[in-house]
Structure 1
Amino acid sequence: MIGGGYSYVSAPPAFSTDAKRLLVCTGTIVSVFSTSTALQVSALEGHTALVTSVLVVPGNKALSFCWTASLDGTIRYWDYAAAELMKTIDIKMPIYSMVIPALLLGQTDLKMMPADAFAYLSVENTQVQENSGKGLRGQIRKCNLTESRLAGVVLAETRKPEVISISPSGKFFGIRNKRKLHIWKTPAKDSKLPVAKITLHHTRNFTHLAFHPTKRLVAAGDTSGRILIWRGFGNHTFSDGEKIVNRGSMNDEEEKPGTRGNDDADSCTTWHWHPTGINLLRFSSDGAYLYSGGKEGVLVDWQLDTGKKKFLPRIGSPLIYLTDSLDPTLSAISCADNQIHLLKTPSMEITKSILGIKLPFSSPEVYDGMCNKFAFDDTAGLVALCTENYRIQFYSLFDDREISEVQVCERNHQPGDEVSVIVTLVSLSGDGSMMSTVEVNLPEDGIGGFVCLKFWASDSQNKNFNLSTIVYEPHRDAGISAVAFHPTRQMVVSSSYGGDLKIWVCSDEIPQKQDALQHSGWMCHAVGSYKKKPMTAAAFSADGSVLAVAAETVITLWDPDNNMLVAVLGVMQMPILTLSFAGEYLLSISRGSKPQLSVWSMSKLSESWSYKLDIEDVTCAKDSSSFAVLALLPKSSNEPIFQGKDGLILLFNATDPIPLAMWSVRKAKGGGLAFLKGNSPSFQHQSIFGGKSPQALLAYINADHEYILFDPYDNDASKLSLTRTKDHISADETAQFGYASIYGELPQFEMKTDQNLLAPYAPSQRPWETIFSGSSHNLLPLPKLCLEFMESLLERRTTTVE
């Protein structure tokens, strides 16, 4: 089994002492990347939940030790060069952030640390109920690393765990707590006194803070984009931290908000350039400059003494972290689009990039459920994702890395911009050489707005697509519901909510006369409709001889070459939103208040079996009747085996309603499935499957774009049990991703069908009964039409006489 797609920016990375490696928190492991190639060279595996902190032990370049903390409640000490675990400390509380002042005070190796070396942790008190009125789940705790235990004292309590920031000198550390900054002074190594603390106030909520490397100076950013700088904080008095804890918690509702004039600081300066909240603040290593960044994706370089600023080139995504190395010419910047860029300082030129899978983006509510999430190239093992900046990312599921990006339409990114264009659909041809995209330009104040269909071509394995044809308003002013490629030809069908379908062909498919001009590009070959009903889904059969199009609640079957309606199947209770062929069977999926999965026999033109399941996605194996569905579990399900799970992956053979296998998963809403070719040349992980190349792999991508690949037909697949956790420090609730295998009967799903509601329809021996059923452009010739109509009148009269 192969896993990947994890976030690279859930926590700040850390450079090795020689700056040749970058340690990145990726899910439950710490991935070690080479700074010269930006490729992963090793991994530290051992944590069972999200790793939230990685701290490299400084000193001699020959040293290769680091500390990590995780939501599994453990602190671990590693030799990252040998990927060897040296020590584990279990505090039995989820750790959201960790700092170790001893590392910055010159005490490097674990053996060189003083008798009582301490770490300061931001943990979650899981015994406090989240919905309690004044539930304070966040705590700042002190941990004795030497004795592997908590020191017992609680430095602060907050509503939720906060990220701890520490000064480069190791003398101060602090947290933001709504409109306050709580700053502690690290006690001397021989001191037994409590940790001293001061509080700085503001009129807006803080988002980030940073300490000067040498001076008693702290900077903080707020939600409005302002930067506040306190100089000489704590010069007068540090209050006793234990008295504050005994007095109560640091809750804004219990303390009267103060003003900056009452803070223990010599002066406070305010700078303002960013239009939205500050995400990044960091002083330069020499302390002469302050770097800031936000949602607009611009890194601002402030001169500390004068307040003058200059701007570094736009990176194109909101900035999160800026990490320095011991090499003054190398730093790293982490972006919200799950990318880490290695920068050459001081020019800030990007030399290499670690490109992770793009994270999901939110589309407007009006288009909720109308945008397809993924398109797969099953031979190359690629997934095409719609990203927030109007691009399509091609990501290798086999190698867990980005292959390329395609800019569908241009965008001048500015923070707070309203979304004006949405890429709603992306579809790939069977060989992955062609792509079609649909974008919707939203109207402004009810004026304007249009739909654009684009065709792309690629002649390389790097998926560098070039735009071939643009079609504006392909279905008049109606939206496009589906786009499907012919399996063997350069032919595409698009269906619309306006009640028509169009078949598009490339100019290479159309025979040209010798004296005719050869035009390149795509053009409309045929148009079809059925009773003016909205066309909601479309799919070609495996050989391309049959085109299935859903006309709202019925399925229409077409001959794509002659553009003729062949048959009409069933009447569903809810609109059909997905069609897919599995061998000689056709699958239809309806969603809504009465969802249903139906399997239709193409040889009999009738329904074989169905389930009342809420299906999120479906995938069919090529050259067989196997298919897999991702079903959402009912919210009322209380089965113990489904605890914490919200979805099921069901593997079927279309000939049998009993599933072959079943797996429960997390974060299924918004997820996807795909069968990939395990014996393709792109797959280089045969050793994971016992040295053999599986014929097919099943890929599951969850709502956070994490994924797993496994052989669903392997007998050992039933024994697989994997739990992976992915949590966001800034989130109030923990989001988890897990995978566990289970077998058994389906949980109370209705297998009976109402044949009255699902009665198939096909041409009969009485042609006058179906003469006016179908597309208007496909009527019989007038003489034939009149003859059939007269026969119908004669039979009706005969029936009346009888």
Structure 2
Amino acid sequence: MPASTSKEPQNVPLPQSPSPMNVSQLPSKRKGKEKQATGISQKRRVAPKSVDTLNTWNTSDVDLDWGWISLADPYTSKVPPVFTKDGSYFFSLVGPHIKIYSVATVQVVSTLSAPRSTSGDVSSDLLTCAILNPHNAFQLITGSLNGRIHIWDFLDANLLKTIDVSQPIYHLCAHEKHKDAVFVAVARPSKHKSKDDNAVVLRVSLKTAPASKQSSVQKSSEISPIGKTLFPTGLAFSASGEWLVATAGHKAYVTSLSSPNPQFTKYVSPERLCCLAFHPSEDYFATGDGKGNIRLWYCLNEQVNVKAVGVEKKTQTSSFHWHAHPVASLAFTSNGAYLLSGGEEAVLVMWQLETGKKEFVPRVGAPISTVSISKAGHEEEYLLGLADGTYLFISAASLKISRGYSRIRIDPSVVQSGASTSKITASPIVSHATTSTLILPSSHPSSLQIYSPTSSKFISELEVSPSNRVARKDEKALEPAKIELVVITSSGEWMATIDRREGDANSHGENYLKFWWWDRKAGFWILNTRIDRPHGLSKVTDIAFSPSQESASLLLVTTGEDNNIKTWSIRTSRDESASDFWAVRSTFSFRSQTPTCVSWAPDASLLAVSLGIYIVLYDPITCTSHRILTTPECPEVSSNFFVGTSGRYLAVVGGHDLALWDLVLQSVRWHYRCPSPIKTVLPLQDSFVVLLEAVTITYACIFSPLSSAPSRSLKLPFTLRGIASYTPTNFVGITKDWSVVVFGDNVSAISEEGSAARGIPTSSVPQARTLFQDIFGKSAFTPQTFTNRPSSAAISASSKVRSLFDGPSYYMPPLESLFDDVMDDFLKPRQVKMASISEDDADVGMDVDEPADVPPAVVRRKLVVNEEEMGMFVDLFKAHALKPKSHPQLPPARKATANGVSKPRTNGHSTPKKPSVKVSPNIIPQAPTSSSPLPATNGKKRKMVSD
């Protein structure tokens, strides 16, 4: 049906109309279901410019699954990471996967995936607990909700054994005192679960039953119950392995495994217990409760074995209190002197057990879920697992963050608290083409994060609205400002955000429009302009940038529940800075209708605004309406967008209906009706995609402007809460369970290091810092071999002599063997121009008997001594040696000590006698240099040779 128009177009350039469709080209008339499948209504076939309506749509028409990959899983581990025995790696449970991280780099090096169960329920495959095998440090034992215990060889990335307990496993522990057995806390398989007893602790033998040895999933040879509990929150062994403690509800269940028939003794807590930790050397444990209290329990004694039926005991405890919210995790330091705690406050608290004093590491970025102790190297570190999936290492010496790792930071418990699940704008997500990054909500509703899909790394976080990171005050949750809308220009230079906070009885509402400028040099977004209440106290319904590449002609359009449409442009300040800022350019409205959606034509010549039952086309320069479109097929228009690169067609969406306008022919080209409401429409180059959501599935129909029948019908195995264009043929979205996915045609998996299972060679274990590296520098870890004493040839060259000091001191030979050569290298003799020596004097000199094993490189040069020089030495000898009484006695020579042994210092040769030599009158007397003698290690004395 042609639409009614109120005004003809004025100077609106529109493309030429294609050739109209002939009636003879339409399918012949059919009956029943065949008529529904064609989508052609014979009543409206008389209009060659309008294709008819498809009234129904069947899910059986879906062709195939649409390709998709996951960029980040929504799972955040609540299980404390497990470190290897040498502290080089740690294991983190992420859904059904085990991610192995390197402690030195905090990067994923391998991923182990548990086999899926035959039930098909994905949630049952989640891993819930993990420990190292106390009898084999290279094996990891995990438990899952499908009731299976997996034993892994993580060095070879192999699954060694699977034992089926047939009950969901929540906690797992083991001790070297109990060989080939683990203790698990499982849910009881009962249809009518009692409120008092809905879990049980079992002792499971790791030995396989003979009947299931050949099966891939084996049965345990022995399973014996220990006792019943409430839903467990902790299960742990004492350091001695004698005591087993479980926490559940308001009770701590304690038993001694040394008794022939172990049974639980219940100790009552005033508050609900949340976590459990055992002291590393003494027999007492700590618990954290829902009110933020930490208690130390001293109940492990002979009274535990005294069984009193129906009696719940109390025992001596000591308590600490700082946390305002439940304690999420506890951990003792390796020496047992400190206790670490963390929770919702995003603060790590260190308690000194002897004095009760505490220290803090505040503002770690997100609520703390797990606390672990890293023992790699000589320095102890604390590993924090945050609620948004981030891992942080805290130095025990400086109490500062040393390094960390994070991918996409999403905390569903925080983001979902106030987000609407019915609107797609509840989780804004956009693609920044300039940097090939994604901008999406962070773990806090007031912040955005920048993530790189190509490198699979978290880049940075943008705090759009500064907010208090404390989750709640007392029991009432605080209402933070939430980012509702985000758009980026096609050039990637500007970004606009809308953040809003609802008002209450104690505070007024907030609504801000902020413009951000991309600093290419710094690689970060900088706040340029903030507009307070752009539409008063009313909510902003939609924003859109014009598709211009130049900032001078760039416009932003906003629509609000105050019935106004506003355009914003860039202006330049008149002061000396001449900086650019954004300001309102125009404000207009239409018949007191509330605008809900705005879209731009590809050439920015038209602006289409949805207002109730109308679609109004505006000139963005003059803000005058060109045409008013009404679509009876869509009684309530929710959104609109231009189709194709020419902008000839305009798609209108309202409820279950989709109509396509031909702006040249000024009529509805075709109409399509869906069985469920349309969630969103995604534009392609010359077509578009319509997304329909079922309960757990999203259906996608790809349309062409020329036909009302979808060219392809596809489906995705999830529902979406936020979508954005990623590439010309692909899209990125946030699913309802907070997983980030890329879907579309020709989607290829992103290769990420450590995303697959691979072995870990022992030679690739990174070296941790040691005390020697801190003392002697990084070169202390350079592989050097000093097994034997260096030879004379090795220490004669200056480069080799100096290189000896680059290594650790404990690798160096005795200093007495290096002194002469070191001094020769550092103290160079003065260069004196020597006179020519006649042939008669050429045979005068000092010969040295060099040892046979000394290379030519270390042979010393011969000295030429004239008669005048020798006479001076004779006079000196007579004056000081033959007449000692005329001079005071000289102090004895200082003894050199090397490696703790005192030895007399000698030159290595005997006292020379007066030789008969020929002298040259031009020779200047010189004292013998320190390079003349050979090291004493050669074991031979020098001999004076003359004619």
TM-score normalised to structure 1 length: 0.72
- Relative distance call for 1:219 and 1:162 in structure 2 (3 A) is closer
1:149 lines up with 2:219 in the alignment:
yes
Tell me if structure 1 keeps the 8 A contact 2:429–2:723.
no
Q: In 2 relative to 1, CA 483–16 (structure 1 residues): closer, same or farther, beyond 3 Å?
A: farther
User: Within 5 Å, which residues of 2 pair with 1:636-715?
Assistant: 646-655=696-705, 656-658=708-710, 660-666=712-718, 668=719, 671-677=721-727, 696-712=729-745
Q: Give the residue type in structure 1 aligned to 2:354.
A: D
- Secondary structure at 1:705's aligned position in 2? coil
Residue 412 of structure 1 is matched in structure 2 by 468
1:118 aligns to what?
A: 181
Helix, strand or coil: the match of 1:164? strand
1:375 maps to: 429
Cα deviation for residue 341 of structure 1 reads 0.7
Q: Matches of 1:277 and 1:152 in 2, distance apart?
A: 34
Are the equivalent residues in 2 in contact too, given 1:373–1:386 (CA < 8 A)?
Answer: no
8 Å Cα contact 2:205/2:223 also seen in 1:
no
**Alignment-derived partner of residue 294 in structure 1:** 343
Q: How does 1:274-285 map to 2 (within 5 A)?
A: 274-285=323-334
Deviation at 1:623, TM superposition (A): 1.9
2:402 alignment counterpart: 351
User: Structure 1: how far apart are the matches of 2:245 and 2:681?
Assistant: 50
CA pair 435-183 structure 1, distance change in 2 beyond 3 A: farther
Determine the C-alpha separation between the residues in 2 that align with 1:170 and 1:605.
82
Secondary structure of 2:715 counterpart: strand
| Contact 1:119–1:143, Cα closer than 8 Å, also in 2 | yes
Correspondence for 1:3:
70
**How far is the alpha carbon of 1:88 from its aligned partner?**
2.3
Distance 2:199 2:636 in 1: 47
AA aligned opposite 1:374: P
Q: Tell me, yes or no, if structure 1 residue 200 matches structure 2 residue 267.
A: yes
CA contact (8 A) 1:558 1:564 kept: yes
Q: Distance in 2 between matches of 1:615 and 1:396?
A: 33
Cα pair 2:232 2:248 within 8 Å, conserved: no
Following superposition of structure 1 onto structure 2, how do residues 790-801 of structure 1 map, counting pairs within 5 Å?
none
Asked if 1:14 corresponds to 2:87, the answer is no
Q: Is the 8 A contact 2:730 2:745 kept in 1?
A: yes
Distance 1:128 1:697, change over 3 A: farther
* Matched-pair contact (CA < 8 Å) for 2:424–2:679: no
Question: Amino acid of the residue matched to residue 344 of structure 2?
Answer: K
Query: Residue 489 of structure 2 corresponds to which residue in structure 1?
Result: 429
1:161 CA drift (Å): 5.7
Query: Which of the numbers 175, 182, 199 marks the counterpart of 1:138?
Result: 199
Q: Structure 1 residue 404: deviation in Å?
A: 1.5
Q: Which protein has the larger Cα radius of gyration, Structure 1 or Structure 2?
A: 2
- Secondary structure (helix, strand or coil) at the match of 2:726 reads strand
2:673 matched residue in structure 1: 611
Alignment of 1:58-77 (within 5 A): 64-77=138-151
Distance apart, 1:319 and its partner CA? 1.2
- Say whether residues 1:482 and 2:559 are aligned partners: no
State how far apart, in whole Å, the 2-side matches of 1:628 and 1:171 are.
Answer: 63
- 1:56 matches 2:132: yes
1:492 corresponds in structure 2 to: 556
Q: Confirm or deny that 1:340 pairs with 2:402.
A: no
> How far did residue 322 of structure 1 move?
0.7
The alpha carbon displacement at 1:136 in A equals 5.7
Distance in structure 2 (CA, Å) of the matches to 1:12 and 1:182 = 21
Cα 1:231–1:624 shift into 2, 3 Å: same
Q: Secondary structure at the match of 1:338?
A: coil
- 1:570 matched residue in structure 2: 630
1:28 is displaced (CA, Å) by 2.0
Q: Specify the alignment match of 2:281 in structure 1.
A: 214
Q: Measure the CA separation in 1 of the matches of 2:450 and 2:675.
A: 31
Aligned in 2, Cα 1:128/1:553: closer, same or farther, shift over 3 Å?
Answer: farther
Cα separation, partners in 2 of 1:32 and 1:516, compared to 1, 3 Å: closer
Same amino acid, percent of matched pairs: 23
CA contact (8 A) 2:77 2:95 kept: no
TM-score computed with the length of structure 2 as normaliser: 0.62
Q: Please give the alpha-carbon distance, in whole angstroms, between the structure 1 residues aligned to 2:657 and 2:257.
A: 62
Counterpart residue identity of residue 123, structure 1: V
Q: 1:79 aligns with which of 136, 144, 153?
A: 153
Query: How far apart are residue 321 of structure 1 and its match?
Result: 0.7
Q: CA deviation at 1:406?
A: 0.2
CA RMSD of aligned residues (A): 3.4
SS of match in other structure, 1:671: strand
| 1:41 alignment partner in structure 2 | 109
Does the Cα contact within 8 Å between 1:128 and 1:136 map onto a contact in 2?
A: no
Q: How much does 1:363 deviate? A: 5.0
- Please give the per-residue CA displacement for 1:325-358, whole angstroms capped at 9, x wherever unaligned: 2324233101122211122224332122221321
8 Å contact from structure 2 (residues 425, 721) kept in 1: no
Aligned to 2:19: none
Deviations 1:627-650 (A, max 9, x none): 2415133xxxxxxxxxxxx23231
* Paired amino acid for 2:127: V
Aligned residues of 1:557 and 1:568 also touching (Cα < 8 A)? yes
Distance in 1 of aligned mates of 2:236 and 2:652: 53
Alpha-carbon distance in 2 for matches of 1:325, 1:618: 48
Corresponding position of 1:101? 175
TM-aligned CA deviation for residue 370 of structure 1 = 8.7
CA pair 462-16 structure 1, distance change in 2 beyond 3 A: farther
Q: How many residues align?
A: 641
> Distance in 1 between the 2:332 and 2:580 partners?
56
Give distance in 2, aligned partners of 1:29 and 1:461. Answer: 39
Residues 145 and 168 in structure 2, CA contact (< 8 A), matched pair in contact too: yes
Secondary structure at the residue paired with 1:19? coil
2 CA distance for matches of 1:172 and 1:71?
Answer: 26
Deviates most, 267-276 or 396-405? 396-405
Partner of 1:414, secondary structure, is coil
Range with greater deviation from structure 2 (4-13 or 332-341): 4-13
**SS of equivalent residue, structure 1 residue 606:** strand
Show CA shifts across 1:609-666 (max 9, x none): 2334555743524423132415133xxxxxxxxxxxx232313124444361322524
Q: Contact 1:329–1:344 at 8 Å: present in 2 too?
A: yes
Question: 1: distance between equivalents of 2:523 and 2:722?
Answer: 21
Q: Show the counterpart of 2:416.
A: 362
Measure the CA separation in 2 of the matches of 1:586 and 1:236. Answer: 81
The whole-number CA distance in structure 1 between the counterparts of 2:103 and 2:670 is 57
Q: 2:447 aligns with which of 391, 396, 400?
A: 391
Partner of residue 598 from structure 2, selected from 538, 543, 553: 538
Deviations 1:151-206 (A, max 9, x none): 3333344564644344455444433221111134445xxx8x34342211022211
Moved more, 543-552 or 147-156: 147-156
Q: Which residue of 2 aligns with 1:273?
A: 322
Counterpart of 2:254?
183
- Structure (1/2) with the larger strand percentage: 1
SS in 2 for 1:507: strand
Distance in 2, matches of 1:431 and 1:168, equals 62
- The alpha-carbon distance between structure 1 residues 609 and 230, as it changes in their structure 2 partners (threshold 3 A), is same
Q: Is the 8 A contact 1:538 1:579 kept in 2?
A: yes
Deviation at 1:378, TM superposition (A): 6.5
CA–CA distance in structure 1, aligned partners of residues 162 and 522 of structure 2: 43
Q: C-alpha separation between the residues in 2 aligned to 1:352 and 1:434?
A: 32
Q: Bigger CA drift: 519-528 or 612-621? A: 612-621
Q: Aligned in 2, Cα 1:89/1:152: closer, same or farther, shift over 3 Å?
A: closer
Find 1:506's aligned residue among 558, 570, 573. 570
Give the distance between the partners of 1:416 and 1:371, measured in 2 at CA. 25
1:91–1:370 CA distance, 2 compared to 1 (3 A): closer
Q: Which residue is 2:374 aligned to?
A: 325
Matches of 1:174 and 1:587, distance apart in 2: 64
1:632 aligned to 2:694?
A: yes
| Contact 1:582–1:654 (CA under 8 A) maintained in structure 2 | no
Instruction: Give the letter aligned to residue 156 of structure 2.
Output: A
**Aligned in 2, Cα 1:331/1:58: closer, same or farther, shift over 3 Å?**
farther
